[in-house]
Structure 1
Amino acid sequence: MRFLAALLLWVLTTVALAVAVPAAWAQHTIVDRDGYAEFAASAAREPQVQQAMATLLTNEIVSFAQENGYGDLNPDLVASVTTGYTQNAGFPGQFAAANRIAHTWMFTDTVQRDQTADDRWLVDIAPMLKDSSLRDTLGNVDLEVPDTLNVPITIPDSSGLRPGQLRSLATWGPWVSVGAIVVTGILALLTLAASRSRGRALVALGVSALIVGAAGWAGIEIGRRYAETALTKTQGEVRAIADVMIGHAIDSMHLWLNLVLAAGGVLVVLGVLAAMLGGLGRRRVTEPAR
């Protein structure tokens, strides 16, 4: 009976851990606005993101200039300036600030939107254009930077993204992640208490971590296909940025799963050592005195 109880608790611990790891990663990296901003800033250090953003900014500046009667603005000059801007040390922080706005748009729907935006997922790049290097270049042609310059992230007709669509995740995400971690810890302790051998219980918990880590790697490969399908709704430079962001997210998830695998390996080793020491102790107790 004790064995069945320990087995049931081990299974529940494994399931809880399988929920806790992705929930904690998602809360820390995606749902939390500061975590997402940090994630975006780290992705902005990738050359592919820098080049794609330089091209996007060049196109937006030239287009904005043409709409305001500055059709003679040299695109090559603008491209050289935007490339230098995206490669400087301040770009990751400003890229993160732009992504904070997009994050707020998706998770809270508190960002003020233009009535012509048609509820598309937009990123305001005006703060980037206010960088000194870009502002000086635009000032040379007397082109004033607008307070807001939104760039659509998805194709309007095919996008299913709407303002505040992920609001429930922002509300319940912290509770789910913390709750899953607490439940996992409690179940792990109960598994240790119910098991006849603490060493074997530690080995079993280590195996749980190894199973979850391996399953997570497999799940990422399956989820990558859905991500690639979602990327078909993006285009141009935004597609290149999205590719890098998803790849960066996958690398981050791999790091978390590798830590879970490492923890599982440590628990297995500790469990084996504990079982061996326990076995030696029992042998000494049962050996007759000479």
Structure 2
Amino acid sequence: MRFVLTALLWLLTTVMLAVAVPAVWAQQHLVSEQGYAELAASAATEPRLQDAMADELTTQITALTADRGYTLNQTLVHQVASGYTGNAGFPGQFAQANRIAHRWMFTDDFPHASADDQWLIDIAPMLSDPSLMATLGNLELDVPETLMVPVTVPSPELRPGRLQALATWGPWAAIGAAVLTGLLALLTLAGSRRRGKGLAALGVSALLVGAGGWAGLEVANRHVDDALTRVEGNFRRIVDEMVIHAEDSLHHWLNMTLIAGVALVVTGVVVSMLGGLRRPE
């Protein structure tokens, strides 16, 4: 009976660990505004994202100057925009723009929503950057206080605050999953007749979750690609780079889970060997 109970506890621990790892990662890097901004800032150091953002800024600058009667050489404007996206201050401003995009999706308090069915991002701070404006010269470019640019094509499934419930309950769900996983792990260990085997079993759980997570990400990539068909223009390349960074971050967490699994298995084997040496013949 004890073996059956311990096996059940081990199975529940494995399942909860499989829930807790992605849940805590998502809370820290996607649901959390600060975490999402840090992810965006990290992605903004990549040349491919910088080039895509330079293309978008070129488009917006050209449109704004055309409204004021100027005709600019797009090649020169792109060189200026590329210089801006390549400087040290760009990741911070890109992160700030993504904070606003995050609020659009995760809160219902979004005063700048000019469309209810498109995901929006504010690029006015980038266009107002002193280094960018100084390079463009005395064009008297009238950049509005906010310039909301759509990231996605119109879709009835997209609206401000769509994920507000996730922002409200996500932290509690992540904490609950982590605490419950730890509690089940302790119960599994307490229920094991031999601590070494219990530790090794928990290590196997971590190995299964880590390996399963890698396999699950490969399957999820197909669904992510389908979802990205709604992203338009230069933002498709930008979002692609952010998705790559998010996957790399989750891969790191899965790798740490695998390493923890190996450590627990090795520790369990060592404890079992030491326990065997202590037993009288």
Tell me the secondary structure at the aligned position of residue 155 of structure 1.
coil
- Say which is worse superposed, 233-242 or 2-11, in terms of deviation: 233-242
Q: Do residues 8 (structure 1) and 8 (structure 2) align?
A: yes
- Say which is worse superposed, 35-44 or 126-135, in terms of deviation: 126-135
Find the aligned partners of 1:82 and 1:165 in 2 and give their Cα distance: 33
Tell me the secondary structure at the aligned position of residue 123 of structure 1.
strand
Tell me the secondary structure at the aligned position of residue 131 of structure 2.
helix
Residue of structure 2 in register with 1:127 after alignment: 125
Residue of structure 1 in register with 2:36 after alignment: 36
Equivalent residue in structure 1 for 2:245, among 243, 248, 252:
248
Equivalent residue in structure 1 for 2:257, among 256, 260, 270:
260
Question: Number of residue pairs matched?
Answer: 281
Runs of 4+ in 1 over 6 A off after TM superposition: none
- Say which is worse superposed, 32-41 or 132-141, in terms of deviation: 132-141
Tell me the CA shift for residue 77 of structure 1.
Answer: 2.2
Residue of structure 1 in register with 2:268 after alignment: 271
Q: What's the TM-score, normalizing by structure 2?
A: 0.97
Residue of structure 1 in register with 2:103 after alignment: 104
Task: Write out per-residue CA displacement over residues 16-45 of structure 1, whole angstroms, 9 at most, x where no aligned residue.
Answer: 101100000000000001011000000000
Find the aligned partners of 1:261 and 1:242 in 2 and give their Cα distance: 28
Residue of structure 2 in register with 1:92 after alignment: 91
Matches within 5 A, 1:168-179: 168-179=165-176
Q: Do residues 143 (structure 1) and 141 (structure 2) align?
A: yes
Q: Which amino acid aligns with 1:128?
A: M
Find the aligned partners of 1:105 and 1:126 in 2 and give their Cα distance: 16
Distance 1:138 1:105, change over 3 A: same
CA contact (8 A) 1:159 1:233 kept: no
Q: Do residues 231 (structure 1) and 225 (structure 2) align?
A: no
Q: Which amino acid aligns with 1:85?
A: Y
Find the aligned partners of 1:39 and 1:10 in 2 and give their Cα distance: 34
CA contact (8 A) 1:81 1:133 kept: no
Find the aligned partners of 2:261 and 2:20 in 1 and give their Cα distance: 15
For structure 1, list consecutive stretches of 5 or more residues without a partner in the other structure.
none
CA contact (8 A) 1:138 1:145 kept: no
Tell me the CA shift for residue 68 of structure 1.
Answer: 3.0
Q: What's the TM-score, normalizing by structure 1?
A: 0.94
Identity across matched positions, percent: 62
Residue of structure 2 in register with 1:55 after alignment: 55
Tell me the CA shift for residue 138 of structure 1.
Answer: 4.5
For structure 2, list consecutive stretches of 5 or more residues without a partner in the other structure.
none
Tell me the secondary structure at the aligned position of residue 140 of structure 1.
coil
Tell me the CA shift for residue 76 of structure 1.
Answer: 2.1
CA contact (8 A) 1:43 1:49 kept: yes
Find the aligned partners of 1:61 and 1:119 in 2 and give their Cα distance: 25
CA contact (8 A) 2:27 2:170 kept: yes
